[in-house]
Chain A
Amino acid sequence: MAVEFSAPPVERSGAWEHFPHDADVGLRGRGATPAEAFEAAAHALTAVVTDASVEPRDAVRVTCEAPDLELLFVEWLNAIIYEMAARNMLFGRFAVRIEGARLQGTLWGEPIDVARHAPACEPKGATYTALKVGRQADGAWSAACVVDV
């Protein structure tokens, strides 16, 4: 089923964080649903690369599938990493719809501008280390893993 988005969603703040790993970076997103937590974690992924704002100029669609929500989260992050690398882009807005084992997402972003974005490091791949998707005590969803940089 096609998923259409008429406009980029409003960017939420305070819904993601980085957590320490010896050599790499852990990232965690939170939201009212798994899809919102995945979107927030995608912001954390971009923040691994740059502190600068990323303009939502172009949209890229991705789809992924996995046998469970945790592996789907890794697939989602890896889909973004692939699009970043293959298109030489950064993404600043995200929309996710999850139906069963399938995720459909849209990434809005722009080509990397080295002077403006001053990219710090390049994510190589999302890993299964510290991988956790689940509900927290307050009922919110959290999605986390370590990304190799």
Chain B
Amino acid sequence: MDPGRFTRVDPTTWRVEPTGAMRVPAIIYADDALIAGMDDKVFEQAVNVATLPGIVGASYVMPDAHWGYGFPIGGVAAFDADRGGVVSGGGVGFDISCGVRTMLTGLTVADVLHVQESLAESLFRQIPAGLGSEGAISLDASEMDAMLAGGAQWAVERGWGAARDLERIEEGGRMAGARPDFVSDHAKERQRRETGTLGSGNHYLEVQAVVEIFDAAVAGAFGLAQDDVLVTIHCGSRGLGHQIGTEFLKEMLAAAKEAGIELPDRELACAPIHSEVGQRYLGAMRAGINCALANREVLGHYARRVFTHFFPNCDLRLLFDVSHNTCKVESHRVDGKRRDLYIHRKGATRAFGPGHESLPAALLPVGQPVLVGGSMGTGSYVLVGDATSEARAFSSACHGAGRAMSRHAALRRWSGRQIVDDLASRGILIRSPSTRGVAEEAPGAYKDVDAVVAAAERAGLARRVARLRPLICVKG
């Protein structure tokens, strides 16, 4: 889009002053090339979010942003419940609590290379991936409710995880305020056999190597060293979250109308936080968060089983588990005062700086790990939340490379088979049930992740700690 549509505040901050129905400014964090490459729809959607009642500060947009539905992907917005603030299903997204977890293996690249092929095959067989795959876990009604109330804690109690993981998961692995009774039977039916499945699209399990360290002190605190091997899982709340998102989108359209909220886009459907629909959505959405936390814990357990088979003394320890499609109540300083706000992050990662009360003791002095997934070919990053992040965007940072090209266009340009072969020649093994799915997720369809995280760092959202290169990628 045309950078001329913004007021440039500094090299990575672009601002749209409030006009018309906008209640606050829109602020995009990006460098020149990233903002020029963004779709005009990002501008339009960021401006639309700024018109919603009770919004505080600004409608923020992260450097990896692209055209979403209602909110841009990469959008962050805070709402004050006591000033007419709203909660929006579109501001959370269909895949509630989609997120990333990274586990340390204690292995080096040299340890893994000699079993790389067979490890890839085993992970592909043991991790249910893609449409049509079924998990080994089938939940009856009472176990479904227990999972929706308990999140990763439930998985640990059932033997599908490790208790020590919990302090390394947002909310201690269990989102409070979840209301399984607000989740429809349809949503539960979609989830009945999906716990412990990866899903499809951009979801993956990767075995990665640390190829560059940017901040040795923080990397040390995170347990990361050059040539270390990590396991990263990207997935969310599967069918249950999607169904909750679908059902509440429709309800919130009616709720917004009833509350007299004028929507510039139907996809921004929302309800006042202090309303029956708003409270019901929050209860269901929090159950969806627990579903995602349980799912990633179970998948982590499956990965542990496979690694233990190859490396009997291997001990996978969780670095951190972050969610990037959520609405959470957080205390933030606004104009010198602390306020409890409903922070929507749609394709954006929470990025708490050093000293935040939610962090475990080992991370308290350095800040929260911010896990940024790239594409299959280019790699991923571990960042750390910065003290400056709260003032910049309510402690938020980017969540991935962000798509630069549609699936449609990617399919026209690349062959899945060719991508698999090209990456194999570069030492990256791809395993997927669908070569077309691989083509749609082609590395070239994504923005330059190096530029995205560099912009996030310059903008004060989060700092780079380590760059990761994939060795194995299991895609749904």
Contact = CB atoms under 8 A, between A and B. Distances in A.
Interface stretch (A35-43, A80-88, A98-106): A80-88
Interface string A34-73: 0000000000000001010000000000000010000100
Interface string A109-127: 0001110011111101111
Contact of B73 (A20, A23, A25, A125): A23
Contacts of A66: 250
B39 interface: yes
Contacts of A22: 39, 41, 66-68, 73, 403, 406
A82 B190 contact: yes
B73 to A, nearest CB: 6
Given A25-B407, A51-B436, A129-B70, A119 B186 contact: no
B201 A149 contact: yes
Contact of A124 (B68, B94, B130): B94
A43 B405 CA distance: 24
B388 interface: no
Contact of A121 (B131, B249, B409): B131
Contacts of A114: 130, 132-133, 433
Contacts of A25: 406-408
B95 interface: yes
A119 B200 contact: yes
Interface in B256-273: 265-267, 269
B335 to A, nearest CB: 34
A18 interface: yes
A73 B246 CA distance: 13
B94 A125 contact: yes
A112 B131 CA distance: 8
B340 interface: no
Given A23-B68, A23-B73, A118-B435, A85 B130 contact: no
Among A86, A112, A113, A126, residue most surrounded by chain B Cβ atoms (within 10 Å): A86
Contact of A86 (B190, B246, B406): B190
B130 A119 contact: yes
A121 B440 contact: yes
Contacts, number: 129
A119 B245 contact: no
Interface in A118-149: 118-122, 124-129, 131, 146, 148-149
B435 to A, nearest CB: 7
Nearest to A75: B250
Contacts of B75: none
B265 A128 contact: yes
Nearest to A82: B186
B403 A120 contact: no
Chain A: interface size category: 35 or more
A131 B245 CA distance: 17
B378 interface: no
A44 B87 CA distance: 32
B353 interface: no
Contact of B189 (A23, A86, A131): A86
Interface residues of B, number: 47
A26 B436 CA distance: 17
Contacts of A85: 190, 239, 242
A148 B407 CA distance: 12
A118 to B, nearest CB: 5
B12 interface: no
Contacts of B200: 119-122, 149
Contact of B131 (A19, A119, A146): A119
Given A82-B243, A88-B134, A114-B132, A128 B69 contact: yes
A8 B118 CA distance: 46
A148 B408 contact: no
B434 interface: yes
B278 interface: no
B199 interface: yes
A78 to B, nearest CB: 5
Contacts of B377: none
Given A21-B67, A23-B66, A85-B190, A119 B409 contact: no
A10 B90 CA distance: 37
Nearest to A17: B408
A3 B271 CA distance: 37
Nearest to A67: B254
B245 A124 contact: yes
17 contacts: A20-B409, A22-B66, A85-B190, A86-B186, A119-B131, A119-B132, A120-B437, A121-B200, A122-B200, A122-B201, A128-B253, A128-B269, A129-B70, A129-B267, A148-B95, A148-B242, A149-B407
Given A81-B246, A82-B190, A128-B253, 13 more contacts: A22-B68, A22-B406, A75-B250, A86-B189, A118-B433, A121-B201, A121-B407, A122-B199, A125-B243, A126-B246, A129-B265, A131-B266, A148-B95
Interface of A: 18-26, 49, 51, 66, 71, 74-75, 78, 81-82, 85-86, 88, 112-114, 117-122, 124-129, 131, 146, 148-149
